[in-house]
Amino acid sequence: MPQGNIGNMKGETICDVTGLILAGGLARRMDGQDKGLILFRGEAMAQRIARALRPQCHRILINANRNISEYEKFGCPVILDQLADFQGPLAGMLTGLNNISTSWMVTAPCDGPFMAIDYVKKMKQAVTLNNHALAVASCNDRLQPVYAMIHQSLIESLEAFLASDERKIDKWYGQHDYTIVDFSNSPQMFENINTPEQLRALERLNQPAGD
């Protein structure tokens, strides 16, 4: 049975939101390079995303499992997965939820260099309107599951899901009522870099407004 409605959230603001940059993967298709540290237009991708999220959030965290000292140079606390063996984005989300002091956490992958300037605002407005504890971004009717806003009340649910050896992000989302937030007007936000070829192609794109 889906769940996830929470009490009256009116009055909460973006000050109630922590941003989490997910940089804890192995990046096998990038020959093992740490994607968050790869330069995009002269700036490490994780640093670029942190810069874009900083005006939108109370605080920024980076979830990484290697090169910790390099990530710390970006001026954000770095948190390692509390689960071993690189268990995917849900493991990073759980670690994030256990390290926030705000009611909400918003997530973004380290390999999407074009962050919308209204990302957090739109996500927060949507969960407030629908009174859900979870929101997931969408573009052209396709879910973008690593772009999510999660209320801290879902910690126990996520802990139980991962303890059952489940890892599929959409399966956990399916256990809850959640809001789908349409970003079809910002499609470049979901352009991500998994290969050297994609890196070169995206660097040639016209720079989005506000970038």
The low-confidence residues of the chain, meaning pLDDT below 50, are: 1, 7-12, 209
* pLDDT at site 211: 56
CA angle 106, 93, 56 (to 5 degrees): 15
* pLDDT at site 125: 95
Q: Is residue 71 part of a domain?
A: yes
Which tens digits make up the pLDDT trace of 153-177? 999 999 999 999 898 999 999 999 9
Query: Is the entire prediction scored with pTM above 0.85?
Result: yes
Domain encompassing residue 53: 14-203
Q: How many domains does the chain have?
A: 1
CATH number at residue 19: 3.90.550.10
Q: Is residue 45 part of a domain?
A: yes
Cα–Cα distance between 21 and 99 in angstroms, integer?
A: 13
Closest CA to 13 of 128, 166, 90: 128
* pLDDT at site 7: 45
Cα–Cα distance between 66 and 165 in angstroms, integer?
A: 23
Q: Is residue 197 part of a domain?
A: yes
Q: Is residue 9 part of a domain?
A: no
* pLDDT at site 142: 96
Q: Is residue 96 part of a domain?
A: yes
Tokens of 36: 């968050």
Q: Is residue 84 part of a domain?
A: yes
Q: Is residue 1 part of a domain?
A: no
Q: Is residue 8 part of a domain?
A: no
